[in-house]
Amino acid sequence: MAGARRTRTRRANVELDETSFLPAIMANLNKLAKKEVHIGMQGDADLAMIAGVHEYGSAKMKIPARSFIGTGKKKSAAGISKWVRTNITPVAMGDMDVMSFLEQVGVIGETKTLANFNRIKQPPLSPLYARRKRGKKILIADADLRDSITHVIVDK
Protein backbone atom coordinates (compact mmCIF):
# COMPACT_ATOMS: atom_id res chain seq x y z
CA MET A 1 0.00 0.00 0.00
CA ALA A 2 1.34 3.39 -0.95
CA GLY A 3 2.15 5.93 1.73
CA ALA A 4 -0.20 8.70 2.65
CA ARG A 5 -0.36 11.50 0.15
CA ARG A 6 1.34 14.62 1.42
CA THR A 7 -0.52 17.84 0.90
CA ARG A 8 0.48 21.36 1.64
CA THR A 9 -1.95 24.12 2.38
CA ARG A 10 -1.67 27.74 3.31
CA ARG A 11 -4.27 29.71 5.12
CA ALA A 12 -5.02 33.38 5.08
CA ASN A 13 -5.12 35.11 8.43
CA VAL A 14 -8.60 36.59 8.40
CA GLU A 15 -9.78 37.51 11.86
CA LEU A 16 -13.48 37.62 12.61
CA ASP A 17 -14.98 39.57 15.47
CA GLU A 18 -18.45 40.74 16.48
CA THR A 19 -18.40 43.57 13.90
CA SER A 20 -17.59 41.25 10.98
CA PHE A 21 -20.50 40.48 8.70
CA LEU A 22 -19.93 36.95 7.42
CA PRO A 23 -22.25 37.14 4.35
CA ALA A 24 -20.34 40.21 3.12
CA ILE A 25 -17.02 38.41 3.57
CA MET A 26 -18.35 35.38 1.67
CA ALA A 27 -19.64 37.63 -1.13
CA ASN A 28 -16.24 39.33 -1.48
CA LEU A 29 -14.40 36.01 -1.56
CA ASN A 30 -16.90 34.60 -4.08
CA LYS A 31 -16.16 37.56 -6.38
CA LEU A 32 -12.48 36.72 -6.07
CA ALA A 33 -13.07 33.01 -6.72
CA LYS A 34 -14.84 33.75 -10.02
CA LYS A 35 -11.79 35.42 -11.58
CA GLU A 36 -8.24 34.36 -12.40
CA VAL A 37 -5.10 36.02 -13.73
CA HIS A 38 -3.35 34.70 -16.85
CA ILE A 39 0.28 35.74 -17.23
CA GLY A 40 1.98 34.97 -20.52
CA MET A 41 2.54 36.30 -24.00
CA GLN A 42 -0.09 37.70 -26.28
CA GLY A 43 0.43 38.33 -29.98
CA ASP A 44 0.00 37.09 -33.53
CA ALA A 45 0.68 33.59 -34.91
CA ASP A 46 4.32 34.34 -35.79
CA LEU A 47 5.06 35.57 -32.29
CA ALA A 48 3.32 32.52 -30.80
CA MET A 49 5.47 30.24 -32.97
CA ILE A 50 8.67 32.02 -31.87
CA ALA A 51 7.60 31.80 -28.22
CA GLY A 52 6.85 28.09 -28.63
CA VAL A 53 10.28 27.43 -30.13
CA HIS A 54 11.99 29.33 -27.31
CA GLU A 55 9.89 27.62 -24.66
CA TYR A 56 10.18 24.03 -25.91
CA GLY A 57 13.05 24.07 -28.45
CA SER A 58 13.15 22.50 -31.89
CA ALA A 59 14.89 19.16 -32.46
CA LYS A 60 14.67 19.54 -36.24
CA MET A 61 16.43 22.92 -36.30
CA LYS A 62 18.71 22.00 -33.35
CA ILE A 63 17.41 24.86 -31.20
CA PRO A 64 17.55 24.10 -27.46
CA ALA A 65 14.68 24.98 -25.16
CA ARG A 66 15.07 28.29 -23.34
CA SER A 67 11.94 28.35 -21.23
CA PHE A 68 10.98 31.83 -20.09
CA ILE A 69 7.28 31.39 -19.31
CA GLY A 70 7.54 28.15 -17.31
CA THR A 71 10.55 29.31 -15.32
CA GLY A 72 9.00 32.77 -14.95
CA LYS A 73 5.93 31.14 -13.44
CA LYS A 74 8.07 29.29 -10.90
CA LYS A 75 10.07 32.39 -10.00
CA SER A 76 7.00 34.61 -9.61
CA ALA A 77 5.04 32.14 -7.46
CA ALA A 78 6.77 33.08 -4.20
CA GLY A 79 6.29 36.83 -4.70
CA ILE A 80 2.65 36.42 -5.68
CA SER A 81 1.98 34.07 -2.76
CA LYS A 82 3.56 36.46 -0.27
CA TRP A 83 1.57 39.43 -1.61
CA VAL A 84 -1.70 37.47 -1.58
CA ARG A 85 -1.18 36.30 2.02
CA THR A 86 -0.59 39.85 3.22
CA ASN A 87 -3.42 41.45 1.22
CA ILE A 88 -6.25 38.93 1.26
CA THR A 89 -7.71 40.32 4.50
CA PRO A 90 -8.57 43.76 3.02
CA VAL A 91 -10.27 42.01 0.08
CA ALA A 92 -12.28 39.76 2.40
CA MET A 93 -13.31 42.72 4.56
CA GLY A 94 -14.24 44.83 1.54
CA ASP A 95 -11.50 47.43 2.05
CA MET A 96 -9.80 46.54 -1.27
CA ASP A 97 -11.45 46.02 -4.64
CA VAL A 98 -11.17 42.51 -6.11
CA MET A 99 -10.09 43.80 -9.53
CA SER A 100 -7.29 45.95 -8.08
CA PHE A 101 -6.16 42.95 -6.03
CA LEU A 102 -6.02 40.74 -9.13
CA GLU A 103 -4.37 43.52 -11.16
CA GLN A 104 -1.56 43.70 -8.61
CA VAL A 105 -1.14 39.91 -8.77
CA GLY A 106 -0.81 40.23 -12.55
CA VAL A 107 1.71 43.07 -12.30
CA ILE A 108 3.88 41.08 -9.88
CA GLY A 109 3.81 37.99 -12.10
CA GLU A 110 4.48 39.97 -15.26
CA THR A 111 7.41 41.82 -13.67
CA LYS A 112 9.01 38.60 -12.41
CA THR A 113 8.50 36.89 -15.79
CA LEU A 114 10.10 39.83 -17.62
CA ALA A 115 13.04 39.78 -15.21
CA ASN A 116 13.42 36.05 -15.84
CA PHE A 117 13.28 36.65 -19.61
CA ASN A 118 16.22 39.06 -19.33
CA ARG A 119 18.24 36.63 -17.17
CA ILE A 120 18.21 33.55 -19.41
CA LYS A 121 21.78 32.44 -20.10
CA GLN A 122 21.49 28.66 -20.55
CA PRO A 123 21.92 26.87 -22.87
CA PRO A 124 24.55 29.09 -24.49
CA LEU A 125 24.31 30.37 -28.04
CA SER A 126 25.74 28.28 -30.85
CA PRO A 127 29.22 29.49 -31.92
CA LEU A 128 27.97 30.40 -35.42
CA TYR A 129 25.13 32.56 -34.11
CA ALA A 130 27.28 34.05 -31.33
CA ARG A 131 29.72 35.44 -33.93
CA ARG A 132 26.92 37.29 -35.72
CA LYS A 133 25.20 38.53 -32.59
CA ARG A 134 26.46 41.31 -30.36
CA GLY A 135 26.27 40.93 -26.61
CA LYS A 136 25.86 37.91 -24.38
CA LYS A 137 22.14 38.05 -23.62
CA ILE A 138 20.40 35.21 -25.39
CA LEU A 139 16.86 36.45 -26.04
CA ILE A 140 17.63 40.18 -26.24
CA ALA A 141 17.09 40.26 -30.03
CA ASP A 142 13.48 39.21 -29.47
CA ALA A 143 12.23 42.60 -28.25
CA ASP A 144 8.78 41.94 -29.76
CA LEU A 145 8.55 38.73 -27.78
CA ARG A 146 9.60 40.49 -24.58
CA ASP A 147 7.07 43.27 -25.15
CA SER A 148 4.28 40.74 -25.69
CA ILE A 149 4.53 39.37 -22.13
CA THR A 150 1.43 40.59 -20.34
CA HIS A 151 -1.30 39.64 -17.90
CA VAL A 152 -5.07 39.41 -18.32
CA ILE A 153 -7.83 39.01 -15.74
CA VAL A 154 -10.50 36.58 -16.96
CA ASP A 155 -13.58 34.80 -15.65
CA LYS A 156 -13.06 31.18 -14.61
pLDDT one-digit tens code per residue, 50-91: 888 878 888 887 777 778 888 888 999 999 999 998 999 899
29 in Cβ contact with 92 (< 8 Å)? yes
pLDDT, residue 9, reads 60
pLDDT, residue 145, reads 80
Question: For residues 53 and 71, what is the distance between their CA atoms, to the nearest angstrom?
Answer: 15
Structure pTM?
A: 0.75
